[in-house]
Structure 1
């Protein structure tokens, strides 16, 4: 396999990152104050491409988190009474500041998450768009008038904010997952306690700083930074606290199930965007070149570390050899390296645990007879968290790569004969977040789009995320929807008001 490695560093970008790094906020943000942990403990934030520490932030525990919960509750007393127009204006201010600082944000995302800079810029634009969207949706939180069956009564239903909410966000989209949740929560009139992933806390703190600059009052947004060691207890507190009225979590299905169980003690609203095992089906009548382009976009964005990444390429027998050949050719053009370097389009995995998981899955396939067409091992010449883009065929149902979400740069190709067989393979999982397929048969398009057991379908398209569309899954991939006008539903309650004894 031929891997290009760009050694040409864009000097202006590198100097810009160095200049800005000293201005990164490195304290937690609670009740409008920048604070350390009561214990004085901290943890390091590491650049996954270099393995070097880029910041040190407070390691908060449950006692610190309780202060944030109290602040969110106090702020809710006034925030819930702001008008939709007032909230809309503040969110618009936040959006304008985020857009003005898009390059700064992208450099932080690349430093923390390892994404190539162009991808980070794309995520920042996507993340910022949620704040813009919900600044507009804030003014469209409509109620309903319902014709009464009784002459002396009138029926109204209004929407009111849920209350203070806990937002637990992942590392793979450190800005977009915060804005998608917090934008909706604030627009609805909720306050929030944000627990960002321990790998990417700086992005969350910078977003909070910009919210503060936008005029969003103290206590409305709180950011609790914590190490992996303290995270489970903080998550449990947020889930079980009677002063938190909703939890929104993006992450693994396994953790999501635990949080769901913990939330049952207070019967709180739960929004879960969990793991996927996305099928990418290519039918024999498809445009193979377009399918390969879509496959590359879906599989290798963020080094395969997205919940909607194609996890299984399910290819009809007639076009299987052509697809595999063209996919390998496209994979050979990937440029691996530090995302800050010019020309790089494939960065590292987020941490060593993820590297070990990907390596385990690939070795399991090797040991059970799979063919490794290209890649198949760690790319240690680039760094300890890099893994070669890998293409695997001759897959059997007992292989881990057939069953598990890989979350890495590994393309697994499975052959099928009939449409029925292809759908059976695609749906043979308890996950159901996203699915993709390529076909030029209009009748087949309708059949397959309806038959795929997922919450989102890409038809002849490998990139489906959009602020305007409802994001979410079925089966064990989650509950609820984010983005779109449905994103507000997670943060509001419907109140029925009956006016009686009216005279006409």
Structure 2
């Protein structure tokens, strides 16, 4: 196997002339990471009812595989397996060094198999291959990071107020963690959660999005090869119709100690309520409505480059994508002109083509949402200055990168997260006005602003009501940085040294009568 994965880079370059489906078929005949079964208690398994659902390539709507359509009975077995594994001697007796070594081995295999994972991810998510490789590098780094952090889960010795007593704080894994992950980053959202949970000593039940289960199963295949004990890692797959009851089960099962969810604010609120009865640990990374502010003091070329990076990655389908472009009057025309020139260079098409910069939207529901928001703005007086077209000539789910001006507060593009390749231009006159608009939402995940005025940079950074700020920068995600929002954009943090805190609790011990 190791000889094969070393040759995958050559294999990938040698089959670039084939379509993504043909490449995946060739990969299947060699060393396939494409699995059509879920993974429970160390075994590849079908659903109890033998039901399946299709996985669709959004670029051409072709079926690229099918996976088990599991229900709550199936997931109960996965929860039982994770619960038993957590309490087993084989996992409980693992030292931090043991867990670290397992994660390091997983990281090594993930790195060796980048090419095939990228092919799988592009085929089911639609994102360009270059972006898939970028996500894999980013996602793998979480496994590497938490392999190191596993050995740094330190406790404390607290000075006692009484001479005969000794006080310690130690950190312990919470137990079974239910991880519910989205389709837009099908690799990194799993590794960011699972890496931390496993490093802490938890076991996991992973529920990937129904649009992108194949990437999750590929990661699990490599974890299986590493030798994690049975039940430590479980991946369950389901169609959209079973997603809600499965989510409720994970939230309400007394055997699940915590939930980590990345997705919409609406679903996050529901899961939050469902976890309340069990007073369950929960981490939520929810929707955003990121402002992108360009002050007259900004370097406009830097601002345009930042806008391209923040807005059009994954066709605008990221939770920290710039959503409302607040441009100071003095530089608004210049910014729009330069942005249009750069957008004309964005090639649109199947992500399997190496020249593609913008892929399709993920599914029909997302296309309908984007089209509806653009149409709503047009009907209320907004002006499309670039793009605006549903690109049926390329494929059913492609939408042209678009710039819209004359945005008003009664438009959906002003108030809602678009999750698509739409730039909504809102001019402003003063710093105070920009901050009022930027903060005038219940979402507070990320925000961006561009200025060459250092005083303004610190002032705006402090007043912007978000959990993450990009200052003269459009790409801010990093393994070492704490990822998360405020307001209705979630609770808790992922990545960084803080990410592991979601999966441990502090135990206070008082040793008495020491004299």
TM range (shorter): over 0.9
Out of 10, 20, 36, the position equivalent to 2:27 is 20
Q: Give the Å deviation of 1:399.
A: 0.4
- Output the aligned Cα RMSD: 1.0
Counterparts of 2:373 and 2:97, CA distance in 1:
51
Tell me what 1:47 maps to: 57
Counterparts of 2:26 and 2:187, CA distance in 1:
21
Counterparts of 2:170 and 2:229, CA distance in 1:
25
Residue aligned with 1:119, SS: helix
Which residues in structure 2 correspond to 1:78-93 (within 5 Å)? 78=88, 79-93=91-105
Counterparts of 1:364 and 1:12, CA distance in 2:
41
Residue aligned with 1:71, SS: helix
Aligned residues of 1:80 and 1:190 also touching (Cα < 8 A):
no
Q: TM-score, normalised by structure 1?
A: 0.97
Aligned residues of 1:80 and 1:161 also touching (Cα < 8 A):
no
Tell me what 1:5 maps to: none
Counterparts of 1:359 and 1:377, CA distance in 2:
9
Tell me what 2:240 maps to: 228
Residue aligned with 1:391, SS: strand
Q: Give the Å deviation of 1:374.
A: 1.1
Which residues in structure 2 correspond to 1:189-208 (within 5 Å)? 189-208=201-220
- Which consecutive residues of structure 1, in runs of 5 or more, have no partner in the other structure? 1-8
Out of 259, 270, 276, the position equivalent to 1:264 is 276
Q: Give the Å deviation of 1:375.
A: 1.3
Q: TM-score, normalised by structure 2?
A: 0.95
Tell me what 1:30 maps to: 40
Counterparts of 1:241 and 1:375, CA distance in 2:
48
Counterparts of 2:132 and 2:19, CA distance in 1:
13
Task: Confirm or deny that 1:59 pairs with 2:69.
Answer: yes
Task: Confirm or deny that 1:361 pairs with 2:373.
Answer: yes
Residue aligned with 2:277, SS: coil
**Residues 67-119 of structure 1: CA deviation (Å, up to 9, x unaligned):** 00000011001323310000000000000000000111111110010000000
Out of 444, 462, 465, the position equivalent to 2:477 is 465
Out of 247, 261, 275, the position equivalent to 2:287 is 275
Which residues in structure 2 correspond to 1:20-169 (within 5 Å)? 20-21=27-28, 23=32, 24-78=34-88, 79-169=91-181
Tell me what 1:3 maps to: none
The alignment of Structure 1 onto Structure 2 pairs a total of residues equal to: 495
Task: Confirm or deny that 1:408 pairs with 2:432.
Answer: no
The alpha-carbon distance between structure 1 residues 13 and 121, as it changes in their structure 2 partners (threshold 3 A), is farther
Tell me what 1:324 maps to: 336
Counterparts of 2:113 and 2:18, CA distance in 1:
16
Which residues in structure 2 correspond to 1:166-185 (within 5 Å)? 166-185=178-197
Aligned residues of 1:252 and 1:274 also touching (Cα < 8 A):
yes
Counterparts of 2:322 and 2:69, CA distance in 1:
35
Aligned residues of 2:157 and 2:169 also touching (Cα < 8 A):
yes
Counterparts of 2:339 and 2:440, CA distance in 1:
24
Task: Confirm or deny that 1:309 pairs with 2:324.
Answer: no
Residue aligned with 1:254, SS: helix
Out of 243, 257, 279, the position equivalent to 1:245 is 257
Q: Give the Å deviation of 1:342.
A: 2.1
Q: Give the Å deviation of 1:13.
A: 7.7
**Residues 97-144 of structure 1: CA deviation (Å, up to 9, x unaligned):** 000001111111100100000000000000000000000000000001
Q: Give the Å deviation of 1:377.
A: 2.4
Counterparts of 1:71 and 1:135, CA distance in 2:
23
Aligned residues of 1:156 and 1:497 also touching (Cα < 8 A):
yes
Q: Give the Å deviation of 1:242.
A: 0.3
Tell me what 1:11 maps to: 17
Counterparts of 2:26 and 2:280, CA distance in 1:
44
Which residues in structure 2 correspond to 1:450-489 (within 5 Å)? 450-489=462-501
Which residues in structure 2 correspond to 1:367-446 (within 5 Å)? 367-446=379-458
- Which consecutive residues of structure 2, in runs of 5 or more, have no partner in the other structure? 1-14
Residue aligned with 1:235, SS: helix
Residue aligned with 1:49, SS: coil
Q: Give the Å deviation of 1:215.
A: 1.2
Residue aligned with 1:346, SS: coil
Task: Confirm or deny that 1:254 pairs with 2:260.
Answer: no
Counterparts of 2:294 and 2:359, CA distance in 1:
27
Counterparts of 1:106 and 1:384, CA distance in 2:
23
Aligned residues of 2:130 and 2:354 also touching (Cα < 8 A):
no
Q: Give the Å deviation of 1:315.
A: 0.4
Residue aligned with 2:185, SS: coil
